[in-house]
Amino acid sequence: MRIDIITVLPELIKSPLEHSIIKRAKEKGLVEIVIHNLRDYASDKYKTVDDYAFGGEAGMVMKIEPIVKVIEFLSSQRDYDEIIYTSPDGKPFSQSTANSLSLLKNIIILCGHYKGIDQRIRENIISMEISIGDYVLSGGELAAAVISDAIVRLIPGVISDETSALSDSFQDGLLAPPVYTRPAEFRNWKVPDVLLSGNAAEIDKWRMEQSLERTRKLRPGLIDDDN
Ligand code: ADE
């Protein structure tokens, strides 16, 4: 999979995508992440990427031309399955969206900034708008990092024990059960007996019960929403 990220702050997005699982996925050749500085596509000597909003609205708006230029350049190199724009008014990001995106070959993520991008880009070029939550970030870079991280770990082969990604919270619409490691007892805090029993069927049953119980208690909407 290839992810092209377009931003006015390349340094902000670089580091979160250079460690841990994403780093290994890149090394294994399972994902290529290319970051593009939008300013490189500005045509004037000041590298202008924003301008005043028509109609007197406060704040700056990202200009059409540099965005069209970079997206047309990328699209001339390969076909893109989705051109995503990060914005607080996009579709709420979810594990199921991450699952679908992880199966694609090439995607572009355009990071929003300032007051946003000229509406004509949203109407004519963007195929999907994603919000990572009902709050406003200073820019779309952290959202793009979150989206990329959630997608990359799901690409087949990225996590060697694939069942590990499959048993994540939300993967089956439920929160994950609690986990424990050694020692089996610490200051009288004990690991549940069933996990030490070696009885795989009982352990699976316990995990499912815990998942359901935690989801009902902490995120009842996840269960109700399915009904
Ligand atoms: N840009 C600013 N806030 C955002 C959010 N909540 N999700 C995605 N992009 C954003």
CATH 3.20.20.70 fits 167-224, yes or no: no
Using CA atoms, how far residue 21 sits from 36, 132, 155, in Å, is: 22, 20, 11
Report how far ligand 1's centroid is from the alpha carbon of 112 (Å).
Answer: 8
Q: Is the pLDDT reported for residue 121 higher than 70?
A: yes
Domain boundaries defined on the chain: 2-152, 167-224
**Nearest alpha-carbon partner for 89 in 36, 126, 44, 56:** 126
Ligand 1 center to 131 CA (angstroms) = 5
Closest residue CA from atom 6 of ligand 1: 88
- Rounded average pLDDT over 76-97: 97
Rounded distance from Cα 78 to ligand 1 centre (Å): 27
Q: How far is CA 44 from CA 22, 33, 115, in A?
A: 36, 28, 21
Among candidate residues 160, 139, 7, 136, the one with its CA nearest the CA of residue 70: 7
**pLDDT for the residue 106:** 98
pLDDT of residue 172: 82
Q: pLDDT by residue (tens digit) across 167-223?
A: 787 878 899 999 999 999 999 999 999 999 999 999 999 999 999 999 999 999 998
Of the listed ranges 140-144, 145-149, 222-226, the one predicted with least confidence: 222-226
Task: Give 11: exposed, middle or buried? Use CB within 10 Å, 0-12, 13-18, 19+.
Answer: exposed
Please identify, in words, the CATH class of the domain defined by 2-152.
Answer: alpha beta
> Does 15 have pLDDT greater than 90?
yes
Measuring from atom 10 of ligand 1, which residue has the nearest CA?
87
Question: CB 168: neighbour CB atoms within 10 A?
Answer: 16
Q: What is the pLDDT of residue 162?
A: 54
